[in-house]
Amino acid sequence: MNQNELIKTVVMVGPQLANDGPFANNTAVDTRGYTRLRAEFIVGGTDVAVGSGDDSTPPFLEECDSLEGDYTPIEDAELSAVIGADDDGKVFAIDVNLVKAHKRFVRVNDPTAGDSTGAYMCVLGRLFYPAVAWGGAAEQGLEELVRV
């Protein structure tokens, strides 16, 4: 089996520009059946800081037993600093070992940009090592898969 077939990609925060406030459509990931989650913060052009809840708190992940419940921070699942105004074109990641006693749903805590021209960013979730290997495009979170 191709090792890439053991990865599912989900959009946690769609690509967008945020200016002085939260990024829209912050989606929780259903981690059931997987052993690892990597949240990748993909930064485009930016001239402001990006954090969780405000532009001075480093982005972090939070978890919950239900999709619409009360989310709590995952211990140590945060970047070391905010994403800075000069971090254009960089990718930051937080890896979570789901084998530990983590809850089923994970999301970024209120990703927020500072007040200026803004920040272009998206967050992709990569789920690794499913309990059952699938291999198809849909099971990998893809609209289309081309194999060469």
Per DSSP, the residues of 20-65 read SEEPS-BPPEE-TT-SEEEEEEEEEEESS-EEESSSSS--EEEEES
Backbone angles phi, psi at 141, to 5 degrees: 80, 20
Amino acid identity, position 114:
G
Alpha-carbon span 94 to 8, nearest angstrom? 16
pLDDT of 96: 96
Split at pLDDT 50, 70, 90, the class of 139 is: confident
pLDDT, residue 88, reads 96
Query: Nearest 10 degrees: CA dihedral of 50, 17, 69, 54?
Result: 30
Two tokens, residue 16: 């967008």
DSSP character for 8?
E
Higher pLDDT, 143 or 30: 30
3-state secondary structure of 16: strand
pLDDT of residue 117: 85
| pLDDT of 64 | 97
**Which domains are present in the chain?**
3-132 (2.60.120)
pLDDT digits (tens, 9 = 90+) for 21-35: 999 999 999 999 999
Is the pLDDT at 120 greater than 80, yes or no? Answer: yes
